[in-house]
Chains A and B, each alone.
Chain A
Amino acid sequence: MTPRRKRLLVVLGILGGVAASVALAVMASRENIMFYYDPSQVVAGKAPLTKRFRIGGMVVKGSVARNPGDLQVRFVLTDFAHQVPVEYTGVLPDLFREGQGIIAHGTMSRAGAFVADEVLAKHDEKYMPPEVAASLKKKAALSPAAQGPTT
């Protein structure tokens, strides 16, 4: 093999490597985007019944019920139009709380609940000290509609 041809192969190898890794990464994230549904779509029966998918929404306030003794948690997800009950066993992320946006990964059960094997919490781009949040909350308590969704 001439050095020239060898160089050409090296260059093609680099370009091919970059293209392949980009393609693989894009495919992996495409799958994530494609199999994403919100509670309304799930209620309308648009989500796959047998395949794993992701569901995103807000944890309904007051819906989180923990099993004393083990790590099982039940809560209700909402997109402010429809609601889907979710079951999960495991450690929840620190940001998981009522009123928080989350994304769960799992399948639908026959009973119509979403059985999650992974729960990820989303957060918004707002940051503030606890004192400010507390005083905002006080104001929000006077007008319940003020704390809207943040997704």
Chain B
Amino acid sequence: MGAGGNQIVSTDFWSMGGYARFVWPCFAFAGVVLGWNLWSARRYYAAARLRAERALEAAMAAGEEA
């Protein structure tokens, strides 16, 4: 189906019919944005968890002293 038409117009997949320098940066940047979202969300959670653990430790230490 579509693949046939695709090959007629763009013989080379990577050249994107001459628009490679516009098409590929778009998809590359989309990858960067998706990756950044995952990375920053994980980091945000890890930092929050660390802070909560520290707060717990501090509270337990204070509790033991009391």
Whether A and B touch (Cβ < 8 Å) is answered with yes
- B25 on the A face (CB < 8 A): no
Interchain CA distance A129-B10 in the complex, whole Å: 13
Query: A residues 113-150 with Cβ under 8 Å of B?
Result: 129-131
Residues of A close to B2: CB separation below 8 A: 129
In the bound complex, residues from chain B placing their C-beta under 8 Å from that of A130 are 5, 9
Task: Give the complex CA separation of A45 and B47 in angstroms.
Answer: 65
Main SS at interface, chain A: helix
Question: Which residues of B from 8 to 40 have beta carbons under 8 Å from A?
Answer: 9
Cα-based distance from A104 to B2 in the complex (angstroms): 35
Q: What is the size, in residues, of chain B's interface with A at 8 Å between Cβ atoms?
A: 3
A13–B28 CA distance with the chains assembled, in angstroms: 35
Nearest Cβ distance between residue B53 and chain A, in whole angstroms?
30
- CB-nearest residue of chain B relative to A129? B5
Quote the shortest CB–CB distance from B16 to chain A (angstroms): 13
- Contacting B at CB under 8 A, from A4-29, are none
A131 to B5, CA, bound (A): 8
CB distance from A70 to the nearest CB of B (A): 23
- Closest CB in chain B relative to A86 CB, distance in Å: 26
Q: Separation in Å of the A121 CB from the closest CB of chain B?
A: 15
Write out the residue numbers on chain A whose beta carbons fall within 8 Å of the beta carbon of B5: 129-131
Chain B contacts for A129, CB-based, 8 A: 2, 5
How close is B3's CB to chain A, nearest CB, in angstroms? 11
Q: CA–CA, A84 to B2, complex, Å?
A: 41
Question: Which chain B residues lie closer than 8 Å to A131 at the CB level?
Answer: 5
CA distance A73 to B9 in the complex (A): 27
The docked-state distance in angstroms from the alpha carbon of A129 to that of B5 is 8
- Render A50-74 as a binary contact track against B, CB cut-off 8 A, 1 for contact: 0000000000000000000000000
CA distance A130 to B9 in the complex (A): 9
In the complex, which residue of chain A has the Cβ closest to the Cβ of B5? A129
Q: A96 → chain B, closest Cβ, in Å?
A: 16
| Whole-angstrom CA separation of A129 from B17 in the bound complex | 14
Residues of A within 8 A of B9 (CB): 130
Complex Cα distance, B9 from A131, in Å, reads 11
